[in-house]
Amino acid sequence: MNNNSFEHKMYAHCETGTLVGLLNNAGYKTTEAMVFGLASGIFFGYLDTKDFPFPTFIVRSRPGEVRENLSKILNIKLNSFKFKDADKGMQKLDDLLAQGIVVGAQVDFFYMDYFPQWMRVHNNVHFINIIGKEGNDYIISDSYHREIAKLDKSLLKKARWAGGTMAPKGFLYYPEKIDLDVDLTKIIPKTIKKAARNMLNIPIPFIGIKGIYKFADKLKTWSKQVRDIEHFSHEIIKINILLEEQGTGGAGFRYMYAAYLKQAGEIMNSPVLNEMSEKIMKIGDDWREISYFAAKIGKNRDLGDDRIAELSDMIRKQGDAEKIFFKELKKVY
């Protein structure tokens, strides 16, 4: 069984890519940037908890929130399921596929063996679309993979019930009902206000703009938390990975958000949104400079206090720039 009409494409991010694939397949034509922007996905958070082996940061909203927000704002009815019993969860997937339904699934990225081993890490919030089954293999559309892939049943089962932080619990979903005539001109202003609020007004000291400043400050303490210079180098280079490589579309989703504001500006016929789009693109360029700088000093083991302070200052300036940007964005509507 296979849904042959499903069009597989690469996308920047797995959650938005999976959603775009499902919506396009169901007849609602949209883009990844629109899905990300309409769901107010842009974000920042500095995380230093026992859930992670080392302090880290996020540049998009909580995993799953893009899907939830989009469903709410576009009035899309999503059917979703979680399972305690893995066998029942695998059977439900087979039943849906047998009906020709393409199904979105949450999995642990570590078990996606169509990627080389060096790319795979335990990450419970990877999203894929499952479009069919052939014998013991499931046919997978993965936003990060160039072609349609196959995944063995036993690995998919492990990946869906991996346990751990943000465990997938066999989560499956698919759109059941979509409002094709939704008026985006009424929705876009709300999504922009919400994104600005998330960056400016959440009263938690490590979230939004405050999170960027926290990152800039705490970076100076990282040298005390590492095993050795190679570990330090690895963590500093990971700044580049988190901003550029882990499904962000570059510059920590800032480029993707620029694309959203550009498209939103056309829909709203708003030159102001077009200007804001150019501004966040420029902010994205500066995040990219930080990525390049982090990779360079990491590789050269140029990680003395002065160099880390320089990197910290660059990040702090991004906090300043984004504070001005989101305050301005909030005033547009």
Partner 1 sequence: MKEKDIYVDFEAHKLVYYAEKEDNSYGPIISGSYLSANYLDDHWMKRKNLEEQLRNQVIANEISPILYYMTFLEMGPKDLASRAKMSMRKLSKTFKPEGFNKLRVAQLKLFADIFNIPVSNLFQTFLIKGDDQEKIEMKQAATDNELYHITMINLK
Task: Kindly list the residues in this chain that would bind partner 1 in the complex (CB under 8 A).
Answer: 10-12, 31-33, 49-54, 110-111, 118-119, 121-122, 143-144, 146, 158, 162-165, 167, 230-231, 233-234, 237, 240-241, 244-245, 249-251, 255-256, 258-259, 262, 277, 281, 284-285, 288, 295, 298-299
Query: Radius of gyration (Cα) for the chain, nearest Å?
Result: 20
Identity (one letter) of the amino acid at 133? Answer: K
Give, to the nearest 10 degrees, the angle between helix 305-332 and helix 184-200.
Answer: 140
By beta-carbon proximity to partner 1, the closer residue of 55 and 175 is 55
Q: Which is nearest to 325 in space by CA: 191, 188, 199? A: 199
Nearer to partner 1, 15 or 244 (CB): 244
* In the complex, minimum distance from the CB of residue 159 to partner 1, in angstroms, rounded to a whole number: 10
Burial status of residue 258 (CB atoms within 10 A of its CB: 0-12, 13-18, 19 or more): buried
In the complex, the smallest distance separating the C-beta of residue 279 from partner 1, rounded to whole angstroms, is 12
Q: Based on CB atoms, which residue is closest to partner 1, 78 or 273?
A: 273
Q: How far is the CB of 254 from partner 1 (least distance, A)?
A: 9
Q: Where are the alpha helices (DSSP H) in 99-208?
A: 153-160, 184-200
Spatial CB neighbours of 93, under 8 Å, sequence gap ≥ 6 = 103, 105, 130, 138, 172
Determine which helix (DSSP H) or strand (DSSP E) holds 218, and give its type and residue range.
helix 209-218
Q: Which residues contact 181 (CB under 8 A, 6 or more apart)?
A: none
CB closer to partner 1 out of 50 and 186: 50
Q: What's the min distance (Å) between Cβ of 203 and partner 1?
A: 25
Give 55 or 319: the residue with its C-beta nearer to partner 1: 55
Q: How far is the CB of 278 from partner 1 (least distance, A)?
A: 9
Q: How far is the CB of 101 from partner 1 (least distance, A)?
A: 26
Q: Shortest approach of partner 1 to residue 234 CB, angstroms?
A: 6
Q: Is there a contact between 255 and 249 (Cβ–Cβ < 8 Å)? A: yes
Between 163 and 205, name the residue whose CB sits nearer to partner 1.
Answer: 163
173 DSSP β-pair partners? 80, 104
Between 36 and 174, name the residue whose CB sits nearer to partner 1: 36
In whole angstroms, give the CA distance from residue 206 to residue 209: 8
CB of residue 96 to partner 1, shortest distance in Å: 26
Between 38 and 78, name the residue whose CB sits nearer to partner 1: 38
Indicate left, alpha or beta for 127 from its phi (over 0: left) and psi (-120 to 50: alpha).
Answer: beta
36 to 39, 90, 129, 315: CA distances (angstroms) = 5, 29, 17, 24
Q: How far is CA 216 from CA 99, 221, 228, in A?
A: 51, 10, 21
